[in-house]
Amino acid sequence: MSKAKIGVVGYGVIGQRLADGVAKQQDMELVGVADIAPTLAIRALAEKGMPYPLYAALPDKAQIFEKEGIPVSGTMDDLLQQVDMILDATSAGVGMKNKELYVKHGVKAIFQGGEKGGVAEVFFHGYANYEKGVGKDYLKLTSCNTTGLIRAVDCLDRAFGVERVVITIIRRVADPGDTHRGLVDVAQVDPVPSHQATDLMEIMPHVEATGLLVHVPTSHGHIISILATPKKAASKEQVLAEFSQHPRIRTVRIADGFNSNTSLFRYARDLGNLRGDMYEIALFEETVELSGNNIFFAINIPQEAVVIPETIDGIRASLRMQTEREAAVALTNKYLGLGLWKKTP
Amino acid sequence: MSKAKIGVVGYGVIGQRLADGVAKQQDMELVGVADIAPTLAIRALAEKGMPYPLYAALPDKAQIFEKEGIPVSGTMDDLLQQVDMILDATSAGVGMKNKELYVKHGVKAIFQGGEKGGVAEVFFHGYANYEKGVGKDYLKLTSCNTTGLIRAVDCLDRAFGVERVVITIIRRVADPGDTHRGLVDVAQVDPVPSHQATDLMEIMPHVEATGLLVHVPTSHGHIISILATPKKAASKEQVLAEFSQHPRIRTVRIADGFNSNTSLFRYARDLGNLRGDMYEIALFEETVELSGNNIFFAINIPQEAVVIPETIDGIRASLRMQTEREAAVALTNKYLGLGLWKKTP
Amino acid sequence: MSKAKIGVVGYGVIGQRLADGVAKQQDMELVGVADIAPTLAIRALAEKGMPYPLYAALPDKAQIFEKEGIPVSGTMDDLLQQVDMILDATSAGVGMKNKELYVKHGVKAIFQGGEKGGVAEVFFHGYANYEKGVGKDYLKLTSCNTTGLIRAVDCLDRAFGVERVVITIIRRVADPGDTHRGLVDVAQVDPVPSHQATDLMEIMPHVEATGLLVHVPTSHGHIISILATPKKAASKEQVLAEFSQHPRIRTVRIADGFNSNTSLFRYARDLGNLRGDMYEIALFEETVELSGNNIFFAINIPQEAVVIPETIDGIRASLRMQTEREAAVALTNKYLGLGLWKKTP
Amino acid sequence: MSKAKIGVVGYGVIGQRLADGVAKQQDMELVGVADIAPTLAIRALAEKGMPYPLYAALPDKAQIFEKEGIPVSGTMDDLLQQVDMILDATSAGVGMKNKELYVKHGVKAIFQGGEKGGVAEVFFHGYANYEKGVGKDYLKLTSCNTTGLIRAVDCLDRAFGVERVVITIIRRVADPGDTHRGLVDVAQVDPVPSHQATDLMEIMPHVEATGLLVHVPTSHGHIISILATPKKAASKEQVLAEFSQHPRIRTVRIADGFNSNTSLFRYARDLGNLRGDMYEIALFEETVELSGNNIFFAINIPQEAVVIPETIDGIRASLRMQTEREAAVALTNKYLGLGLWKKTP
């Protein structure tokens, strides 16, 4: 079977990681990436010797790249003529405009969580509602926070059933290196419910959810506390066992030094992961506790990379590369190296 | 009736505010404060012209103050001979040692939350267990987080009964100006349950509590999300009504600009409050939500000043100035100006 | 002599402090303040019982205040008819528009440093070029950083002559409570020269200046290192003596605990200063050092309050309340309580 | 020629990078690393499959590693018997104790900048005083800040001569992930001169240096402004040309997006550098300016990795692998890939 031909539009924090993630899939081919300006990400691509061809997302931008000595392989049209699917990782609102081009070229697309809901037929999460995305032309992925949150809730839901969740999100307010946003010495409170709770209910309609989001001055991962009311009672050990077996959840111990969002980032750097990224959410083992029948725990969401696996799942669903959820996510996991660190019993 | 004679030992962040709070009580007299070094707090006292007499907490320290031109009124012994009660706001562990002196001089004392449990007969909170402190010689106050948390939970408990609470504390990791502690770009996770949940159960033994504490790089107030399971169902409006009537809880609206811990600090500065302090915890109105029967909401704890009212309640209890809880807290509130901002209907 | 009648337009961080500063001047009367929205600053004014009358800066905004229960005393026109001078502390660009109104009403005005240069006849600093402002209708004050910087350089210039300065500004990137700007874990570098160096040369044309500005994630004061080349050699002791005698410069010792921007803020809070403000810049004594003939030292600029004294000097200059520089600043200092903390020999 | 056999003692932030750096040198062999506890760095080593053998730095610690499933290859004695030289990257004070072991085993060693001066015969910097280290048994490297600072000053010194420098260091206060140190909303000022200025004079005795250090709440690189007085006048272009040709200095443009310490870190991550590290200091082009004859500019010091090249230079010097400075640093640069990004004219 020929490989699925994929393009990435918008080569920023998410776009770079989507490109690298797709390039690892043996059944996919990364045709190229498109952007509009010689950002640091594009400059790094050039310094690395252009491992991926670059296309000018707007026709008149090609010369800007060339002026900076950055080779350009063509325009957006050139890219769209070569691909089966686009991963659109542009800024919110741009994807909606780009969609016209994708439709015109008969190219499928996955949009990221920041894009407006109407852009896609299905609001998608690889683990929670894979089936809904199968064969659909346009998917929108859940946002970084929601993607990681749903991973954890879906894990419990498939094991014990989940009726209700209440979450508190401690949101990192900027990515490393951002200078256009940030907070100094402020924990900023949003009205309840946060959109992550609402989004969770859209993906998992049988669950009732609410939650608070507080923005804090950090850049290396959201921390979420989750109180889940299961349908059938579960012991702490059963809960831990479920989380431990999930290839996209890394169970870590505070006692071992995994005591923060940034310790996980540091560990990923020390592992030699590209950019110090981690695809897995982390579950802090010592935070798992029962309150009555309810399951309480805290996770870390590595906001820069967490959506990559579920987006790649979306490619498999939309292009019907796999119609079975479990087979699809297993393939993504295999190519991304997820689950390999699990200790064999 | 003669005024209760009070001394403050340890003139740091808490000690300064205790001194100022006591000085506002018309039925108390602040005899003096004691410390061991010419800290900035002591230097500010001197620059203000010594509104409170200073005593050297260790005999050999008097000359250090005098070398800096700071007048000293005597030693710790001199202070203890004049007072009915000491508010001990020294560093953790020092209070335990100081207690021997207090016992020797037959002086009652209230210790702050950082001190070891064994230091006192009663673990005290003005609103939640005033009666237990009446006539007792040695009280230990709840910590700042716990003091504010219990205010809110006690408020609901007296209205609806509370069976269970699950909390997530977003803890400010340092006070403004601290250089001996802090975090940079880190949200640090502690094991569950946090001591605040455990402490709440000690003060309110009929409530089951657990919770998570995450340290974040801020200095102006802890944010706590609370999920409380009431004994009898309560509507959102009923919950808000209860909070609105509590003199030590300030209900604020995110829509009005009260969107963070630091906006509350800024407001208190603009109000002209001494040091920009606020005695009240704040309830963010738009965070009150029901999840099933459970009540969800978020509060802000102004860590520097929140314990002052409950500590002053403790004076009233220990010295039997009031034996009735409601009368006692009402008097403290009156002298501290708490509840005055409430809109009359 | 009747008092100078002053209005403040824009009741934000600077406007509030200008209002309070003017209210302390025994030869001035604060007629009122104007703003367009019920910000937290306005809400605090209301909670305090409206010590200053409020005017709606735009006619249709009056009802917004009233809807919130905030009493309004009239419109901008009403305010302009009663005053001799306006202190315009609106956002950058708004002052330029407001100027038309001021001209129409024949009212003088002082604009803050963020406003465009063309708005005023004179770029003003109370200590450095008071004479230029005398009798002028429209002044623009130096920005917070430049105001404090010039205080220090002017102090040396009058004593030793200054030929050249090279500065490094460590700029606090947001004010306490700001949620619309900030940095997380970033020190952001601007091109050299920073505008503060350029502005200094405009105010002190005989000095050659350049400098670097680095934005850092703090909110309590800019730190500036200054290397000044004097015309005549000065010893470290002479330099310290000059700074020590300046009523708007507070010489502090790191060894005493004044080791940061925020320790100064904390001290001002403990002093009981309104909002924890400090009008003085601080000179860290242990940073004064000679490098060859050049004088090296570091200062702290309390960005929220530093411009208040020089703005009030500007009122005196523009309204010809004083034509002599030294008499003018002495009066401002007296009413603001500046220099009182100086130890008498 | 047989390869130089190197061991690393202390596998923390610096030790890990030293190990990786040595492993890249084709004329060196990394025999193994030693540590005392299963830190995250050691756990990452294990998860990577032990690319380097681990030795227990204290005999009784081996079982702790094994309990955690981390394979141990022997004790410190075992390591010392196999190596020609140790790179000691332990905490300050430990290296001094370890030295006895090194002496006993007749093994040479390089200590890091935090260790006490007396530990070594020579205070070493690869570019500035290579010759002094040739054949010496014990070297101590300059600290991270000083290493980067001297690179820049030495570069100017060899081109134009440098008589005097005045520096302002904006110091990142913690490394990413640290929870044992940090600052919140504080810029902390140290007395002048900072040790970096003093250390520079020890390495470059013909230069007079002083400087200020301010600690700020960031974790991704120190920013230093430098004013250098050259012996012979240099134009801005000449200065830039010298910096541009230095293999360990990366000249970057703020206009291109390199506007902060963290943008450089982000770029290094995007480049695919291990851990997002950068060996080079960065010079911000738009900060180069003349003030009179003096050269002003600002650099970024990537504190985690900057000392690696100069430490490896030290191996070459101590083991007499090269007696010529230029040949030695060229070899280190070649194996570390330094200078490869330079555009050919």
Q: What is the pLDDT along chain C (345 residues), one digit of tens a residue?
A: 689 999 999 999 999 999 999 999 999 999 999 999 999 999 999 999 999 999 999 988 999 999 999 999 999 999 999 999 999 999 999 999 999 999 999 999 999 999 988 999 999 999 999 999 999 999 999 999 999 999 999 999 999 999 999 999 999 999 999 999 999 999 999 999 999 999 999 999 999 999 999 999 999 999 999 999 999 999 999 999 999 999 999 999 999 999 999 999 999 999 999 999 999 999 999 999 999 999 999 999 999 999 999 999 999 999 999 999 999 999 999 999 998 766 543
Count structural domains, chain C.
2
Give pLDDT tens digits for A127-181: 999 999 999 999 999 999 999 999 999 999 999 999 999 999 999 999 999 999 9
Answer for the pair C318, C110: CB distance below 8 angstroms, yes or no: yes
Give which of D224, D171, D147 is closest to C189, Cα–Cα. Answer: D224
Check if the interface score ipTM surpasses 0.95. Answer: yes
What residue has token string 């009066």?
A: C331
Residue B172 CB partners (closer than 8 Å, separation 6+): A187, B216, B218, B219, B220, B221, B222, B261, B303, D184
Same domain, residue pair B132 and B216: no
With a cut of 70, list the residues of chain B below it in pLDDT.
Answer: 1, 341-345
Helix (H) or strand (E) holding D200: helix D195-203
C-alpha span between B276 and B266 (Å, rounded): 7
Same domain, residue pair B290 and B322: no
C-alpha span between D194 and D186 (Å, rounded): 19
Same domain, residue pair C253 and C137: no
Give which of C212, C170, B220, A273 is closest to D173, Cα–Cα. Answer: C170
What residue has token string 């989750």?
A: A226
pLDDT category, A3, cuts 50, 70, 90? very high
Q: Which of B174, B178, B185 sits opposite D176 (nearest CB)?
A: B185
Annotation marks residue B144 as catalytic: yes
Helix (H) or strand (E) holding A267: helix A261-271
Q: Which of A172, A177, A184 sits opposite C182 (nearest CB)?
A: A184
SS (H, E, C) A286-307: HHCEEECCEEEEEEEECCCCCH
B172 backbone dihedrals φ, ψ, rounded to 5°: -65, 135
DSSP B148: H
Same domain, residue pair B216 and B258: yes
Residue B343 lies in a domain: no
Chains interfacing with C (3 or more CB pairs < 8 Å) = A, B, D
The verdict on a CB contact (< 8 Å) between D40 and A263 is yes
The verdict on a CB contact (< 8 Å) between C182 and A177 is no
- D199: its two tokens: 């250390």
Give the mutation candidate from D11, D14, D20, D40 for the A interface (greatest A CB count, under 10 A). D40
Instruction: Specify the 3-state DSSP secondary structure of D171.
Output: strand
Task: State whether the Cα torsion D300-D301-D302-D303 is positive or negative.
Answer: negative
Residue C341 lies in a domain: no
Strand pairing report for D281-284 and D294-301: antiparallel
Long-range contacts of B230-236 (CB under 8 A, 24+ apart): B230/B156, B230/B160, B230/B161, B230/B162, B230/B163, B230/B293, B230/B294, B230/B295, B231/B160, B231/B161, B231/B162, B231/B163, B232/B160, B232/B161, B233/B160, B233/B293, B234/B156, B234/B159, B234/B160, B234/B295, B235/B290, B236/B288, B236/B289, B236/B290
Interface of A with B in 282-311 (CB under 8 A): 284, 286-289, 291-292, 294, 296-298, 300
How near does any CA of chain D get to the CA of B326, in Å? Answer: 39
What residue has token string 């100064």?
A: C264
Return mean pLDDT, chain A.
96
Same domain, residue pair C151 and C257: yes
Taking chain D (345 residues) in consecutive chunks of 10 residues, what is each chunk's mean pLDDT?
Answer: 94 98 98 98 97 95 94 97 98 95 98 92 97 98 97 98 98 98 98 98 98 98 98 97 97 98 98 98 98 97 98 98 98 94 52
Amino acid at C118: G
> For B345, how many CA atoms within 13 A lie in the half-sphere containing its CB?
3
Same domain, residue pair A15 and A138: yes
Give which of B128, B125, B172, D258 is closest to C187, Cα–Cα. Answer: D258
What residues form DSSP beta bridges with C189?
Answer: C214
Answer for the pair C215, A181: CB distance below 8 angstroms, yes or no: no
Q: How far is CA D55 from the centre of its chain?
A: 24
Residue D234 CB partners (closer than 8 Å, separation 6+): D156, D159, D160, D295
C-alpha span between D158 and C270 (Å, rounded): 52
Buried/exposed C19-47: b ≥16 CB within 10 Å, e otherwise: bbbbebbeebbbbbbbbbebbbbbbbbee
Q: How far is CA D207 from CA C292, D65, D325, in A?
A: 12, 48, 20
Answer for the pair B118, B94: CB distance below 8 angstroms, yes or no: no
How near does any CA of chain A get to the CA of C262, in Å? Answer: 12
Whether D131 and chain C come into contact, CB under 8 Å, resolves to no
Task: Kindly identify which residue of chain B lies nearest to residue A222, measuring between CA atoms.
Answer: B187
Whole-number pLDDT of residue B71 = 96
Same domain, residue pair A125 and A150: no
Query: Cis ω on the peptide bond leading into residue A247 (within 30° of 0)?
Result: no
Same domain, residue pair B12 and B158: no
- D2: its two tokens: 């047989």
C-alpha span between B264 and B271 (Å, rounded): 10
DSSP A73: -
The verdict on a CB contact (< 8 Å) between B176 and C48 is no
C-alpha span between D65 and D37 (Å, rounded): 7
Answer for the pair C112, C14: CB distance below 8 angstroms, yes or no: yes
C-alpha span between A254 and C328 (Å, rounded): 62
Give pLDDT tens digits for D273-322: 999 999 999 999 999 999 999 999 999 999 999 999 999 999 999 999 99
Residue B283 lies in a domain: yes
Helix, strand, coil percent content, chain C, rounded in steps of 5: 40, 25, 35
Whole-number pLDDT of residue A97 = 96
Q: Residues of A with CB below 8 A from C186's CB?
A: 177-179, 182
Whether A51 and chain D come into contact, CB under 8 Å, resolves to no
How near does any CA of chain B get to the CA of D218, in Å? Answer: 6
Q: What radius of gyration, in Å, describes the C-alpha atoms of chain C?
A: 20
Whether B273 and chain C come into contact, CB under 8 Å, resolves to no
Q: Residues of B with CB below 8 A from A166's CB?
A: 166, 227, 291, 294, 296
Whole-number pLDDT of residue A344 = 44
Whether A185 and chain C come into contact, CB under 8 Å, resolves to yes
The verdict on a CB contact (< 8 Å) between C177 and B262 is yes
Answer for the pair D261, D218: CB distance below 8 angstroms, yes or no: yes
Q: Residues of D with CB below 8 A from C190's CB?
A: 254
Instruction: Report the length, in residues, of chain D.
Output: 345
C-alpha span between C338 and B168 (Å, rounded): 46
Whether C182 and chain A come into contact, CB under 8 Å, resolves to yes
Same domain, residue pair D322 and D255: no
**Domain containing A279 — which CATH number?**
3.30.360.10
Residue B345 lies in a domain: no
Whole-number pLDDT of residue C342 = 63
Strand pairing report for B28-35 and B4-9: parallel
Maximum distance among all alpha carbons in chain A? 65
Answer for the pair D286, C192: CB distance below 8 angstroms, yes or no: yes
Residue D340, Cβ neighbours under 10 Å: how many? 10
Instruction: Specify the 3-state DSSP secondary structure of A243.
Output: helix
Amino acid at D302: P
Answer for the pair C288, C227: CB distance below 8 angstroms, yes or no: no
Residue B8 lies in a domain: yes
Return mean pLDDT, chain C.
96
Buried/exposed D91-111: b ≥16 CB within 10 Å, e otherwise: eeebbbebbebbeebebbbbb
Same domain, residue pair C253 and C127: no
Whether C250 and chain B come into contact, CB under 8 Å, resolves to no
Environment class of A63 (CB within 10 Å of its CB; exposed 0-12, middle 13-18, buried 19+): exposed
* Helices and strands, counts by H and E, chain B: 12, 16
Maximum distance among all alpha carbons in chain B? 65
Whether C238 and chain D come into contact, CB under 8 Å, resolves to no
- Per the structure, the complete domain to which residue A17 belongs is given by 4-142+307-336
Same domain, residue pair B136 and B148: no
Same domain, residue pair A88 and A213: no
The verdict on a CB contact (< 8 Å) between A187 and B262 is yes
Residue A201 lies in a domain: yes
Q: How far is CA B272 from CA A241, B269, B278, D188, D274, in A?
A: 55, 5, 10, 27, 52
C-alpha span between B264 and B273 (Å, rounded): 12
Residue A341 lies in a domain: no
Give which of C44, C117, C322, C341 is closest to C19, Cα–Cα. Answer: C44
C-alpha span between A79 and A7 (Å, rounded): 7
Of all residues in chain C, the percent with pLDDT exceeding 70 is 98
C-alpha span between A36 and A46 (Å, rounded): 15
Q: Residues of A with CB below 8 A from C177's CB?
A: 186
**Domain containing A135 — which CATH number?**
3.40.50.720
Give the CA dihedral B91, B94, B96, B97, nearest 10 degrees. -170
Task: State whether the Cα torsion B156-B160-B163-B165 is positive or negative.
Answer: negative
Residue B91 lies in a domain: yes
DSSP-derived secondary structure for C189-249: EPPSSPHHHHHHHHHSTT-EEEEEEEEES--S-EEEEEEEEESS---HHHHHHHHHH-TTE
Q: How far is CA D31 from CA B180, C76, C273, C300, D140, in A?
A: 39, 79, 63, 51, 21
Query: Which residues of A are catalytic, by number?
Result: 144
